[in-house]
Amino acid sequence: MKYIDEFRNKEASLWFAGKVKKISENRDITLMEVCGTHTMAIYRYGIKKMLPANIRLLSGPGCPVCVTPDNYIDKAIELSSKEDVIITTFGDMMHVPGTESSLDRQKANGSDIQVVYSIIDALKIAEKNINKKVIFLGVGFETTVPTIASAILQAKKMNLKNFFVISANKLIPPAMEVLVKGEKVNIDGFICPAHVSTIIGAVPYRFLSEKYHIPCVIAGFEPTDILQAIYLIVKQIAENRSEVEIQYTRAVKNEGNKKALSIIDNVFEDCDTEWRGIGEIKKSGLKIIDEFKNFDAEYLFTFEYKPVKKNLGCICGNVLQGINTPDECKLFRKVCTPESPVGPCMVSSEGTCAAYYKYT
């Protein structure tokens, strides 16, 4: 495929890996790939095996499904049991266990839940079902947020009265700061997300390199992209620099996608929000502004308060912060498998536990 296959260049990948070995001079270096799509690619292409033993890669919290807390899933489940509601969602959310049920189970029991590829499909479902309330589960990072904002603007234009979003949308840089400020993991460099950065650009990571002196490189998702980015980070470390660099130059501009950013600003505002396993992070979430509150399911529906039952033994919260690897979880592979997941890190196709299960 054009502009994909060219970045799966084995010889060039080996060249970068060799360079990393040389310039890191056996120094122990811990890098975090923040994004779940990077985690998947790192396992799929055996990137850890190509790197010298002194380079450690940790997976971070960049899987939107994994960091969505139980109470959001419980709300979605509650909405799905209403007679006049159609739930529309990306597929990964279907299998995440809530406190008492999952969307999968709700669907089997007769709830109208439809998996969509795009929020545009949810708009079409709303147009066709004017007697039903069509609710889209807005779960995503900066890559997906502008698509949701754009759909809300379009719903307004179309004068749709039965289309709603329930937002658990999140922002990546505030979570990176929490990890850096915490004492639990020591991160020497960040492999920054590819497509989040097509929207936000390089500037929002600058505080990490300037205030915390951590080298950051925005990397594409193909294997050679990732190895080149690791080389660029290790080079910064060897030269005692900390900057934000873009390896994924074919898709990321320093300033990001200005039009998408302004569409987000027109529809959403920052709010504090909860991340599974990490807790509440200030200004890391997005909620729909008042002007569009008629599209906000949180505004239109009231929810029962249910205390969240803890998943005994699941250490997803630690896995999401790079504190533990999946094989350190007692349930991994024995009780928790992709067919019968206990935690979201095993459910999501980009969860670290799922990647570990599939490729190790």
Partner 1 sequence: MCIAVPMKLLKIDGDTGSAELGGIVKEVSLSLLDEVKVGDYVLIHAGFAIQKLDEKEALDTISLLNELGGND
Point out which residues pair with 198 in neighbouring strands: none
Closer Cβ to ligand SF4, 122 or 316, answer by number: 316
77 close to 103: Cβ distance less than 8 angstroms = yes
Q: Name which of 256, 220, 197 is nearest 4 in CA terms.
A: 220
3-state secondary structure at position 26 = coil
**β-bridge pairing 29-35 and 55-62:** parallel
Partner whose binding site includes residue 355, from ligand SF4, partner 1, none (CB under 5 to 8 Å by kind): none
Partner whose binding site includes residue 65, from partner 1, ligand SF4, none (CB under 5 to 8 Å by kind): partner 1
CB of 340 to ligand SF4, least distance (A): 10
Cα dihedral sign, 71-274-261-173: negative
Closer Cβ to partner 1, 43 or 78, answer by number: 43
Closer Cβ to partner 1, 7 or 357, answer by number: 7
Closer Cβ to partner 1, 200 or 331, answer by number: 200
User: Measured at the alpha carbon of residue 107, what is the angle toward residues 294 and 77, in degrees to the nearest 5?
Assistant: 45
Interface residue with ligand SF4, options 166, 187, 226, 353 (CB under 6 A): 353
3-state secondary structure at position 153 = helix
155 close to 163: Cβ distance less than 8 angstroms = yes
Partner whose binding site includes residue 123, from ligand SF4, partner 1, none (CB under 5 to 8 Å by kind): none
Q: Please tell me the number of Cα atoms within 13 Å of 224 on its side-chain side.
A: 13
The CA distance from 290 to 75, in Å, is 21
Start-to-end CA span in the chain (Å): 27
Residues in region 310-339 near ligand SF4 by CB under 6 A: 314-316, 319, 326, 329, 331-332, 336
Query: Which position's Cβ is nearest ligand SF4?
Result: 343
Binding of residue 342 to ligand SF4 (CB under 6 A): yes
Residues that bind partner 1 (CB under 8 A): 1-4, 6-7, 9-12, 15-16, 35-37, 62-65, 90, 92, 117-121, 139-141, 143-144, 146-147, 150, 153-154, 193-196, 198-199, 221, 224, 228, 249-253, 257, 259-260, 263, 348, 350
Query: Would you tell me which residues interact with ligand SF4 (CB under 6 A)?
Result: 314-316, 319, 326, 329, 331-332, 336, 342-343, 345-346, 353
